[in-house]
Structure 1
Amino acid sequence: MRKLSKAAAAAHVEACRLTDLARELSEAEKQFVLDNFHESTVLGHATGGVFFTPSALARAMTIHVVGTRIIDLGAGIGHLAFACRNMLDHRHNGEPVREFVCVEKNPELVRVGMKVVPEALWVCQDMFALAPRRFRFDTAIANPPYGRAPRSDTRPGYSGGRFEYHAIALAAQFARHGVFLIPQTSTPFCRSGHDHFVANTEDAEYSRFVAGTGIALMPSCGIDTSQYDRSWHHRPVRTEVALADFTDPTVLRAHRRSSPVLSFPHRTALGRARPHWRTR
């Protein structure tokens, strides 16, 4: 991790000042916080594989987000959820306003996130402590910690060391569809940093993940994450946008053995009241 420059440190201080205001932030102020609040100031230089998604990359990922009920796993301060809001579509096309649940275990990140995406239900909890409910959400989004980051649980079907695979397997217990930002080495394809798609099918760990969960990761519609390398707060690993269809019969068979009920609280220690989610 590199030390913050004087300009970056000053911008971070201003972002902190904005999050301390009692009033609701303007759209421009929310974007300023997203762009300038640095994760290393909260998590330390050893961020445990946690890196905030650049805003421009988050906006590019939204092309694959479908439906109106969205869950953001490991939400940080809300970069992905903020980008996925459909405010203009609601105003001009009459589409329903999207509903968000943002799950983040760090209370300081939740505090900041509530200023950035106040319309979301923020759940300050370890994502693996959530009781799953099949298809409660239309899309799960995540830029999870990468690699052998510490985690509290193991998902059924996968017992390996890649945190991103456990996060994706968890998402399959909530949503119909998934959009994830994960290391390129964890996908069966390479697009970012290449002129064309290249198959990456010799990864034994990915093969074990697919065999155990039934989840096959698919490429995005040509998103090249290398175009956003200069926008990360810290030096990034090469990533890919990976998609998953959790309604595929292979996935359903792999998860059929259990379907406990999801129970989000009416009010979290840091969040405000929200009605229970509708079921279909």
Structure 2
Amino acid sequence: MPLTREQARNHHKAMDLVAADRDLTRKEKEFVLDHYQPSASTTQALDGAFFTPREMARELATYDIGGDRPGERIIDLGAGIGRLAFEAVHADWRDREDLPLGEMVCVEKNPEYVRVGRRVLPEATWLCHDLLDAADMDLGLFDCAISNPPFGAISRSRDSAAYRPRQFEYHAIATAARVARRGIFIVPRTSVHEEHPSQRTTSCLRFTRETGIELKTTWMDADAWRDQWGGPTPRVTVVSADFHHPGLRTPNAA
């Protein structure tokens, strides 16, 4: 979808800020996050990437991602330019309740997204890698994995653990299970459940059967933010999972 004149103007302004030879203010960082347009210079459609809307990210950071102790480590798998990670790091309640993060690690394979992300969230550790490689990067165990991963049956560099679904989002969740104690994920609603969350899809049931990972539906859907995705308007839901360690079990394991 072509950018409007205003979108193009704000995108160029955002890129000027990214290129500025100085630290950015909080307001400038939020401007970049709000107005950077991935479709202006990247293969967004091929990547299957959709950037998390600001208000949705803030809602997740406030009610779902929050840790219950200071010093937690969080990894964002497929971080994009860092909107979800930014809101998790800068959630107002962290200062209010004295629960600062110990570490935020952002894994993103698109080098342009990483370049922008390092400017808006310099306090995070940015790794320019495929998120599917995270389990083999010796990063240690995280308290929480967060992800708004690429959606659907897109090409991938490898399979995750013992499961080989077509949907990329399941590979992201299976990877998270190998590096974190729990996870919060934005995924297409139709890949997890039918009209009601209790009606699991065939792919979701198979994922649980093959991996032992139970996905809990946190939200039925996120239609309140459908007009804020900046292009296509995917219908998504939010799921969470508690992971057992070490690693995933193999298929058909007892």
Q: CA deviation at 1:88?
A: 4.0
Q: Which residue in the other structure is 1:13 paired with?
A: 12
Q: 1:134 to 1:210 in 2, by over 3 A?
A: farther
Q: 1:217 to 1:91 in 2, by over 3 A?
A: closer
Contact map agreement 1:135 1:173 (CA 8 A) in 2: no
Q: Aligned partner of 2:148: which letter?
A: N
Q: 1:24 to 1:161 in 2, by over 3 A?
A: same
Q: Aligned partner of 1:154: which letter?
A: D
Q: CA deviation at 1:188?
A: 3.1
Q: Which residue in the other structure is 1:263 paired with?
A: none
Bigger mean CA offset, 158-167 vs 83-92: 83-92
Contact map agreement 2:192 2:203 (CA 8 A) in 1: no
Distance 1:98 1:188 in 2: 34
Distance 1:168 1:136 in 2: 15
Q: Does 1:93 align with 2:92?
A: no
Q: CA deviation at 1:46?
A: 2.6
Q: Does 1:187 align with 2:182?
A: no
Q: Aligned partner of 1:232: which letter?
A: W
Q: CA deviation at 1:45?
A: 5.8
Q: Does 1:24 align with 2:23?
A: yes
Distance 1:142 1:253 in 2: 18
Identity across the alignment (%): 40
Q: How many residues align?
A: 245
Q: CA deviation at 1:98?
A: 4.0
Q: 1:209 to 1:90 in 2, by over 3 A?
A: closer
Distance 1:186 1:223 in 2: 12
Q: Which residue in the other structure is 2:215 paired with?
A: 217
Q: Aligned partner of 1:15: which letter?
A: A
Contact map agreement 2:14 2:32 (CA 8 A) in 1: yes
Among candidates 121, 125, 128, match of residue 124 of structure 1: 128
Q: Does 1:161 align with 2:166?
A: yes
Q: 1:23 to 1:154 in 2, by over 3 A?
A: same
Q: Which residue in the other structure is 2:155 paired with?
A: 150
Q: Aligned partner of 1:181: which letter?
A: I
SS at 1:75 equivalent: coil
| Cα-to-partner distance string for 1:72-103 (whole Å, 9 max, x where unaligned) | 00101001100101464454433233410000
Distance 2:162 2:44 in 1: 33
Q: Aligned partner of 1:125: which letter?
A: H
TM-score with structure 2 length normalisation? 0.88
Q: Which residue in the other structure is 1:274 paired with?
A: none
Distance 1:217 1:198 in 2: 11
Distance 1:51 1:228 in 2: 13
SS at 1:141 equivalent: strand
Q: Which residue in the other structure is 2:85 paired with?
A: 81
Distance 1:169 1:81 in 2: 20
